[in-house]
Structure 1
C-alpha cells in the first residue's frame, strides 16, 4: 500500500466514515472484546474497542485523529503481533492494495481468536451496475480487474465466510469509488478523485477522455435522462460486500 504515501494526502478530508456503513461493520464484528484493524488508514470505522491499528503508510498514520487506537507501521502480510492476539480482526477496502492477499488473509486468521471481518467489493457486480466504469471509465475498471479478488476466492481463503451486501447511501460521506453514484458531478472534482485509488492510480491522462464525456453528458442533461431511475433511490447495491468468517 505504498501508493497511499501519495494517494492518501487528502484522505482525511474526502474519506469520512459513513455512520450507516459503520453500523453494518460494527454489527458484523458483534460482541467481540477487542479488534485489530489491518490496513487501517486514518482510522475510519474503528470501534472504541480497537486495540491496535496496522498501516504501512506514514502519510495515512499522520492523519489519524487524536485519541485513535495505538498504531504501528507494518504490512498485512507480516503482522507484528502474536497468534490469537485479538477477538476480531478487520480489513476494510484494503485487500486490493496488498502485495500477497493470500498471505495477508492467513495472517488475519492467525491473529483472530473469534472472527475476521473484511469489507471488499464484487468486481463483476461493480462493473455491471456502476455507470461510471461501465459507460465512461472502462480503463479504470480494467485496472481494478488486475487487483480485485473474487469474493468466493476470499471466502475460501478465510476458511468459509458469510457474505453480506453493503448498499451505498445516496449521500454517503465516505468518498470511495462508488460513493457518488447519485452525485455524478463529484467525479469531476480532482480532490474527490485524489482519494479514490480507482480514479487516481490509472493516471489523469488515462481517464481524461471519459471524464470529458461525463462533463458533456451532465451539461446537456443526457446523464440525468439516462439515469433517471437512480435519482429516485435512497441507496444502491454497487457490489460492496462484507465477508464475515468465524474462527
Structure 2
C-alpha cells in the first residue's frame, strides 16, 4: 500500500486549510495555551499556539511552510514527549493511518494535560450519504472499511468525548475525500486524487472503472439529473466528526 512518502508530494497544493473547518477546530481547542499536532502532515489547521508537529513522513515535513511550528519525524504510537507535555493534542484525519490505534490514543492521553481533539469520520454515514463512494467507487469504500474506526470505539479509547458534526461547504478549499461533493469533475483530475488517500492508496487500477462511469455520467448529464438535490445545498454532512475529550 502506498505511503505518504509516495503519495504526499502534492499535499501542500491540494490540501489547504478551509477557514470554516478551521473555525470549528479552533473552537474545539478552546483557550489552550499550547498544542501538539500529531500526524501533522504539511501543517494544515495548526493554531498559532502549536508548540510541536509530529509527522512520520519526511516528504510531508518538507512541505511545511516557512514559519510553521517545529516538526519531529515520529509516529503517534511513540511520541517523543514527556507526560503532560502540552495543554492539548490534536490529530486531524490521521488515526485511520496508525498501525496501533489503541497505542496511539494512549499516547495522546499521556501527553495532553487538558484536551484532545480528533477529526475523523463515521464510515457508515460516509458510505450511505456520499454519492462518490456509494454510486461509483464502492471499491474505495471497501478499502476504507479496513481502516476506518467507529467513532464510538474512539470515544471509548479516549475515556469519553463529545462528538461534533463537521459540515463540508460546497466550495471547501481543503481537498480531502468529500471536499468536491458539489464539484464532481474534480475527482477526474489525477492531481486532486493524489491528495486524497481514499483514492490514491487503493491504486488507479482499482478506481478506474468507477471514474470512467462518472466521466460518462457527467458528459451525458445523468449525474446532474440524479443529484439535482445535492446541487441546491450549501453544506453537507457526510459523517465527518470532531471528537473533543477533556482530560
TM-score, length of structure 1 as denominator length = 0.99
Instruction: Report whether the alignment pairs 1:148 with 2:133.
Output: no
**Residue 51 (str. 1) matches residue 38 (str. 2):** no
Matched, 1:105 2:95: no
Map of 1:173 onto structure 2: 173
Structure 2: how far apart are the matches of 1:7 and 1:196?
A: 9
For 2:176 and 2:70, the matched residues in 1 are separated by 25
Q: Which runs of 4+ in 1 moved over 6 A?
A: none
1:7 positional shift: 1.1
Q: How much has 1:151 moved relative to structure 2?
A: 0.1
How many corresponding residue pairs? 247
Give, in angstroms, the shift of residue 114 of structure 1. 0.2
Residue 9 of structure 1 aligns to a residue whose secondary structure is coil
What is the root-mean-square deviation in Å for CA atoms of aligned residues? 0.9
2:202 aligned with 1:208: no
Distance 1:52 1:246, change over 3 A: same
Q: Are the aligned partners of 1:2 and 1:57 in contact in 2 as well (CA < 8 Å)?
A: no
Within 2, Cα distance between the matches of 1:192 and 1:69? Answer: 26
Note if 1:228 corresponds to 2:228: yes
Kept in 2: contact 1:108–1:116 (CA 8 A): yes
Deviation at 1:2, TM superposition (A): 7.6
C-alpha distance in 2, partners of 1:63/1:104?
24
* Alignment correspondent of 1:60: 60
Which TM-score applies when normalising by structure 2? 0.99
Give the C-alpha shift of residue 6 in structure 1: 0.9
Q: 1:144 Cα deviation (Å)? A: 0.1
**Which residue pairs with 1:157 in the alignment?**
157
The runs of 5 or more residues in structure 2 that have no matched partner are: none
Give the Cα separation in 1 of the matches to 2:103 and 2:113: 18
Partner deviation per Cα, 1:164-185 (whole Å, 9 max, x = no partner): 0001000000000000000000
* SS of aligned partner of 1:120: strand
The 5 Å alignment of 1:23-34 reads 23-34=23-34
